Amino acid sequence: MSALAGQVALVTGAGRGIGRAVAVALAAEGAAVALAARSRADLAEAAAAVKDAGGRALAIPVDVTQDAEVEALVEQVLSELGRLDVLVTAAGVAAFGPVAGAKPADWDAMLAVNLRAVMVTCRAALGPMLRQRRGTIINVASIAAVRAIAGGAAYAATKAGVVAWSRVLAEEVRHEGVRVGVVLPGAVDTPLWDQISGAPDRARMLRPEDVARAVVLMASLPDGATMEEVRLLPADGIL
Ligand SMILES: NC(=O)c1ccc[n+]([C@@H]2O[C@H](COP(=O)([O-])OP(=O)(O)OC[C@H]3O[C@@H](n4cnc5c(N)ncnc54)[C@H](OP(=O)(O)O)[C@@H]3O)[C@@H](O)[C@H]2O)c1
Protein backbone atom coordinates (compact mmCIF):
# COMPACT_ATOMS: atom_id res chain seq x y z
CA MET A 1 0.00 0.00 0.00
CA SER A 2 1.35 3.43 -0.92
CA ALA A 3 2.41 5.50 2.09
CA LEU A 4 0.17 8.49 1.30
CA ALA A 5 -2.82 6.75 -0.28
CA GLY A 6 -6.02 8.72 0.30
CA GLN A 7 -4.15 11.84 1.41
CA VAL A 8 -4.20 15.28 -0.18
CA ALA A 9 -1.06 17.39 -0.50
CA LEU A 10 -0.59 21.03 -1.46
CA VAL A 11 2.81 22.08 -2.81
CA THR A 12 3.69 25.72 -3.43
CA GLY A 13 6.45 26.45 -5.91
CA ALA A 14 5.40 23.25 -7.66
CA GLY A 15 6.03 24.57 -11.16
CA ARG A 16 9.76 23.92 -11.20
CA GLY A 17 12.72 22.64 -9.25
CA ILE A 18 12.28 21.28 -5.75
CA GLY A 19 8.52 21.87 -5.53
CA ARG A 20 7.89 20.02 -8.76
CA ALA A 21 9.99 17.04 -7.69
CA VAL A 22 8.18 17.01 -4.33
CA ALA A 23 4.79 17.04 -6.06
CA VAL A 24 5.75 14.09 -8.26
CA ALA A 25 7.19 12.14 -5.33
CA LEU A 26 4.13 12.72 -3.13
CA ALA A 27 1.90 11.59 -5.99
CA ALA A 28 4.02 8.48 -6.51
CA GLU A 29 3.24 7.63 -2.86
CA GLY A 30 -0.47 7.87 -3.56
CA ALA A 31 -1.35 11.45 -2.57
CA ALA A 32 -3.60 13.65 -4.69
CA VAL A 33 -1.54 16.79 -5.24
CA ALA A 34 -2.50 20.42 -5.68
CA LEU A 35 0.26 22.38 -7.39
CA ALA A 36 0.63 26.13 -6.90
CA ALA A 37 2.90 28.67 -8.62
CA ARG A 38 2.43 31.69 -10.88
CA SER A 39 3.49 30.33 -14.28
CA ARG A 40 0.61 28.44 -15.91
CA ALA A 41 2.95 26.82 -18.43
CA ASP A 42 5.20 25.45 -15.68
CA LEU A 43 2.18 24.26 -13.73
CA ALA A 44 0.80 22.43 -16.76
CA GLU A 45 4.12 20.63 -17.25
CA ALA A 46 4.39 19.76 -13.57
CA ALA A 47 0.80 18.51 -13.46
CA ALA A 48 1.55 16.30 -16.47
CA ALA A 49 4.56 14.88 -14.63
CA VAL A 50 2.38 14.11 -11.61
CA LYS A 51 -0.13 12.35 -13.84
CA ASP A 52 2.68 10.40 -15.51
CA ALA A 53 3.63 9.20 -12.01
CA GLY A 54 0.10 7.82 -11.72
CA GLY A 55 -1.17 10.63 -9.52
CA ARG A 56 -4.08 13.06 -9.41
CA ALA A 57 -3.02 16.65 -10.02
CA LEU A 58 -4.83 19.95 -9.53
CA ALA A 59 -2.91 22.94 -10.91
CA ILE A 60 -3.79 26.29 -9.32
CA PRO A 61 -2.10 29.51 -10.50
CA VAL A 62 -1.30 31.55 -7.39
CA ASP A 63 1.00 34.35 -6.32
CA VAL A 64 1.79 33.38 -2.74
CA THR A 65 2.61 36.97 -1.81
CA GLN A 66 -1.10 37.81 -2.21
CA ASP A 67 -2.84 36.80 1.01
CA ALA A 68 -6.29 36.54 -0.55
CA GLU A 69 -4.96 34.24 -3.27
CA VAL A 70 -3.44 31.95 -0.65
CA GLU A 71 -6.73 31.78 1.27
CA ALA A 72 -8.58 31.01 -1.97
CA LEU A 73 -5.96 28.36 -2.83
CA VAL A 74 -6.63 26.42 0.35
CA GLU A 75 -10.39 26.78 -0.14
CA GLN A 76 -10.09 25.40 -3.68
CA VAL A 77 -8.03 22.43 -2.48
CA LEU A 78 -10.70 21.65 0.10
CA SER A 79 -13.60 22.04 -2.31
CA GLU A 80 -12.02 20.01 -5.15
CA LEU A 81 -9.95 17.43 -3.25
CA GLY A 82 -11.92 17.27 -0.01
CA ARG A 83 -9.21 17.63 2.65
CA LEU A 84 -5.65 18.78 3.24
CA ASP A 85 -3.13 16.43 4.85
CA VAL A 86 0.26 17.70 3.70
CA LEU A 87 1.48 21.21 2.94
CA VAL A 88 4.93 21.75 1.43
CA THR A 89 6.02 25.37 1.00
CA ALA A 90 8.65 25.32 -1.73
CA ALA A 91 7.86 28.66 -3.41
CA GLY A 92 10.98 30.76 -3.10
CA VAL A 93 13.35 33.16 -4.77
CA ALA A 94 17.04 33.90 -4.27
CA ALA A 95 19.23 36.91 -4.92
CA PHE A 96 22.77 37.31 -3.69
CA GLY A 97 25.17 40.19 -3.23
CA PRO A 98 27.08 41.99 -0.52
CA VAL A 99 25.04 43.98 1.97
CA ALA A 100 27.12 47.12 1.45
CA GLY A 101 26.11 47.26 -2.21
CA ALA A 102 22.43 46.43 -1.71
CA LYS A 103 19.40 48.68 -1.59
CA PRO A 104 16.86 47.75 1.13
CA ALA A 105 14.14 47.57 -1.51
CA ASP A 106 16.09 44.74 -3.17
CA TRP A 107 15.25 42.57 -0.16
CA ASP A 108 11.50 43.11 -0.18
CA ALA A 109 10.59 40.48 -2.78
CA MET A 110 12.69 37.82 -1.07
CA LEU A 111 11.21 38.61 2.34
CA ALA A 112 7.72 38.54 0.86
CA VAL A 113 8.03 35.18 -0.90
CA ASN A 114 10.50 33.28 1.28
CA LEU A 115 9.27 34.34 4.70
CA ARG A 116 5.97 36.20 4.86
CA ALA A 117 4.23 34.00 2.29
CA VAL A 118 5.36 30.87 4.14
CA MET A 119 3.79 32.27 7.29
CA VAL A 120 0.55 33.14 5.50
CA THR A 121 0.37 29.75 3.75
CA CYS A 122 0.98 27.82 6.96
CA ARG A 123 -1.72 29.83 8.70
CA ALA A 124 -4.20 29.16 5.89
CA ALA A 125 -3.51 25.41 5.96
CA LEU A 126 -3.78 25.16 9.72
CA GLY A 127 -7.54 25.72 9.72
CA PRO A 128 -8.43 22.46 7.95
CA MET A 129 -5.57 20.52 9.56
CA LEU A 130 -6.67 21.49 13.07
CA ARG A 131 -10.28 20.64 12.22
CA GLN A 132 -9.15 17.22 10.95
CA ARG A 133 -6.76 16.92 13.95
CA ARG A 134 -4.27 15.66 11.38
CA GLY A 135 -1.72 17.20 9.05
CA THR A 136 1.93 17.66 8.20
CA ILE A 137 3.50 20.96 7.22
CA ILE A 138 6.98 20.91 5.69
CA ASN A 139 8.67 24.22 4.97
CA VAL A 140 11.64 24.35 2.62
CA ALA A 141 14.29 26.59 4.18
CA SER A 142 17.98 26.32 3.28
CA ILE A 143 21.29 25.41 4.84
CA ALA A 144 21.99 29.13 4.42
CA ALA A 145 19.86 29.57 7.55
CA VAL A 146 22.59 28.01 9.67
CA ARG A 147 25.84 28.32 7.67
CA ALA A 148 27.30 31.70 6.78
CA ILE A 149 27.66 32.21 3.03
CA ALA A 150 29.06 35.64 2.10
CA GLY A 151 26.64 37.48 -0.18
CA GLY A 152 23.66 35.60 1.20
CA ALA A 153 22.75 37.72 4.23
CA ALA A 154 19.25 38.70 3.14
CA TYR A 155 18.46 35.22 1.78
CA ALA A 156 19.82 33.67 4.98
CA ALA A 157 17.66 35.99 7.07
CA THR A 158 14.52 34.83 5.26
CA LYS A 159 15.49 31.17 5.69
CA ALA A 160 16.47 31.52 9.36
CA GLY A 161 13.07 33.12 9.81
CA VAL A 162 11.42 30.06 8.28
CA VAL A 163 13.37 27.75 10.61
CA ALA A 164 12.37 29.77 13.69
CA TRP A 165 8.77 30.01 12.53
CA SER A 166 8.61 26.25 11.92
CA ARG A 167 10.03 25.42 15.36
CA VAL A 168 7.54 27.59 17.19
CA LEU A 169 4.60 26.49 15.06
CA ALA A 170 5.50 22.84 15.73
CA GLU A 171 5.29 23.59 19.44
CA GLU A 172 1.91 25.29 19.10
CA VAL A 173 0.16 22.48 17.25
CA ARG A 174 1.94 19.26 18.23
CA HIS A 175 -0.80 18.29 20.69
CA GLU A 176 -3.50 18.82 18.08
CA GLY A 177 -2.37 16.22 15.59
CA VAL A 178 -0.42 18.58 13.31
CA ARG A 179 3.30 18.08 12.64
CA VAL A 180 5.58 20.85 11.42
CA GLY A 181 9.00 20.20 9.96
CA VAL A 182 11.59 22.15 8.06
CA VAL A 183 14.13 20.94 5.53
CA LEU A 184 17.44 22.77 5.05
CA PRO A 185 19.00 21.70 1.75
CA GLY A 186 22.45 22.64 0.55
CA ALA A 187 22.79 23.56 -3.12
CA VAL A 188 20.24 21.85 -5.39
CA ASP A 189 20.49 21.85 -9.18
CA THR A 190 17.30 23.71 -10.15
CA PRO A 191 16.38 26.61 -12.45
CA LEU A 192 16.90 28.91 -9.44
CA TRP A 193 20.60 28.95 -10.33
CA ASP A 194 20.01 29.99 -13.97
CA GLN A 195 19.99 33.71 -13.08
CA ILE A 196 22.81 33.61 -10.54
CA SER A 197 26.28 34.48 -11.76
CA GLY A 198 29.21 32.61 -10.26
CA ALA A 199 27.05 29.63 -9.28
CA PRO A 200 28.91 26.60 -7.93
CA ASP A 201 29.37 23.51 -10.11
CA ARG A 202 25.82 22.32 -10.69
CA ALA A 203 26.93 18.74 -11.34
CA ARG A 204 28.04 18.54 -7.70
CA MET A 205 24.74 19.79 -6.29
CA LEU A 206 21.88 17.75 -4.89
CA ARG A 207 19.13 16.76 -7.32
CA PRO A 208 15.59 18.03 -6.61
CA GLU A 209 14.57 14.38 -6.25
CA ASP A 210 16.94 14.06 -3.27
CA VAL A 211 15.04 16.77 -1.43
CA ALA A 212 11.76 15.18 -2.47
CA ARG A 213 12.81 11.90 -0.85
CA ALA A 214 13.43 13.65 2.44
CA VAL A 215 10.07 15.42 2.22
CA VAL A 216 8.23 12.18 1.48
CA LEU A 217 9.91 10.56 4.48
CA MET A 218 8.86 13.44 6.74
CA ALA A 219 5.28 13.32 5.41
CA SER A 220 4.88 9.57 5.60
CA LEU A 221 6.16 8.81 9.09
CA PRO A 222 3.62 7.12 11.34
CA ASP A 223 1.37 9.53 13.27
CA GLY A 224 3.34 8.97 16.47
CA ALA A 225 6.61 10.29 15.03
CA THR A 226 7.69 13.68 13.74
CA MET A 227 10.85 14.66 11.89
CA GLU A 228 11.19 18.36 12.59
CA GLU A 229 14.47 19.38 10.99
CA VAL A 230 16.41 17.80 8.17
CA ARG A 231 19.75 19.14 6.96
CA LEU A 232 20.42 17.62 3.57
CA LEU A 233 23.78 18.28 1.96
CA PRO A 234 25.52 17.15 -1.19
CA ALA A 235 27.96 14.47 -0.12
CA ASP A 236 31.00 16.63 -0.84
CA GLY A 237 29.54 19.47 1.18
CA ILE A 238 28.88 22.08 -1.52
CA LEU A 239 26.50 24.70 -0.21
N1 LIG B 1 18.11 25.42 -5.46
C2 LIG B 1 18.81 25.42 -4.33
O3 LIG B 1 20.06 25.30 -4.32
C4 LIG B 1 18.10 25.55 -3.01
C5 LIG B 1 18.79 25.18 -1.86
C6 LIG B 1 18.16 25.32 -0.63
C7 LIG B 1 16.87 25.80 -0.58
N8 LIG B 1 16.23 26.14 -1.72
C9 LIG B 1 14.87 26.67 -1.59
O10 LIG B 1 13.98 25.76 -2.17
C11 LIG B 1 12.82 26.46 -2.65
C12 LIG B 1 12.59 26.07 -4.10
O13 LIG B 1 13.72 26.50 -4.84
P14 LIG B 1 14.07 25.92 -6.29
O15 LIG B 1 15.54 25.81 -6.34
O16 LIG B 1 13.20 24.77 -6.60
O17 LIG B 1 13.66 27.21 -7.15
P18 LIG B 1 13.02 27.30 -8.65
O19 LIG B 1 13.45 26.17 -9.47
O20 LIG B 1 13.30 28.69 -9.09
O21 LIG B 1 11.45 27.16 -8.35
C22 LIG B 1 10.80 28.10 -7.53
C23 LIG B 1 9.31 27.88 -7.60
O24 LIG B 1 8.70 28.86 -6.74
C25 LIG B 1 7.67 29.51 -7.48
N26 LIG B 1 7.45 30.88 -6.99
C27 LIG B 1 8.35 31.88 -6.91
N28 LIG B 1 7.73 33.01 -6.50
C29 LIG B 1 6.43 32.70 -6.34
C30 LIG B 1 5.28 33.45 -5.97
N31 LIG B 1 5.35 34.75 -5.66
N32 LIG B 1 4.09 32.81 -5.91
C33 LIG B 1 4.00 31.49 -6.20
N34 LIG B 1 5.04 30.73 -6.57
C35 LIG B 1 6.25 31.34 -6.65
C36 LIG B 1 8.16 29.48 -8.92
O37 LIG B 1 7.10 29.60 -9.83
P38 LIG B 1 6.66 30.98 -10.52
O39 LIG B 1 7.89 31.82 -10.73
O40 LIG B 1 6.00 30.53 -11.78
O41 LIG B 1 5.69 31.61 -9.57
C42 LIG B 1 8.74 28.07 -8.98
O43 LIG B 1 7.72 27.13 -9.24
C44 LIG B 1 13.11 27.93 -2.43
O45 LIG B 1 12.51 28.35 -1.23
C46 LIG B 1 14.62 27.96 -2.30
O47 LIG B 1 15.04 29.06 -1.53
C48 LIG B 1 16.80 26.02 -2.94
AA letter at 36: A
What is the C-alpha separation between 226 and 203, in angstroms, rounded? Answer: 32
CATH superfamily of 8-232: NAD(P)-binding Rossmann-like Domain (3.40.50.720)
CA angle (1, 127, 224) in 5-degree steps:
40
The answer to whether 155 is a known catalytic residue is yes
Question: Looking at residue 85, what is its pLDDT?
Answer: 98
**Segment 48-104, tens digit of pLDDT:** 999 998 999 999 999 999 999 999 999 999 999 999 999 999 999 999 999 999 999
Residue nearest to atom 7 of ligand 1 (CA): 142
H/E segment holding residue 8: strand 8-12
* Per-residue pLDDT reduced to its tens digit, 2-44: 999 999 999 999 999 999 999 999 999 999 999 999 999 999 9
Helices (H), the chain: 17-28, 40-52, 67-81, 104-110, 117-132, 153-173, 208-220
Q: Which of 13, 121, 155, 211 is catalytic?
A: 155
Mean pLDDT for 110-125 is 98
- The pLDDT, as a whole number, for residue 199 is 87
Q: How is the chain split into domains, by residue range?
A: 8-232
Determine the pLDDT at residue 170.
98
Per-residue pLDDT at 198 exceeds 90: no
The predicted model scores a pTM of 0.98
Query: Is the distance from CB of 181 to CB of 232 less than 8 angstroms?
Result: no
Collect all residues with Cβ–Cβ distance below 8 Å to 146 and sequence separation of at least 6. Answer: 160, 163, 184, 231
User: pLDDT value at position 197?
Assistant: 86
Pocket-testing residue among 38, 119, 201, 229, ligand 1, by greatest number of atoms within 8 A of Cβ: 38
Inform me whether the pLDDT recorded for 1 exceeds 80: no
Quote the mean pLDDT of the chain.
97
Q: Given a cut of 80, is residue 238 above it in pLDDT?
A: no
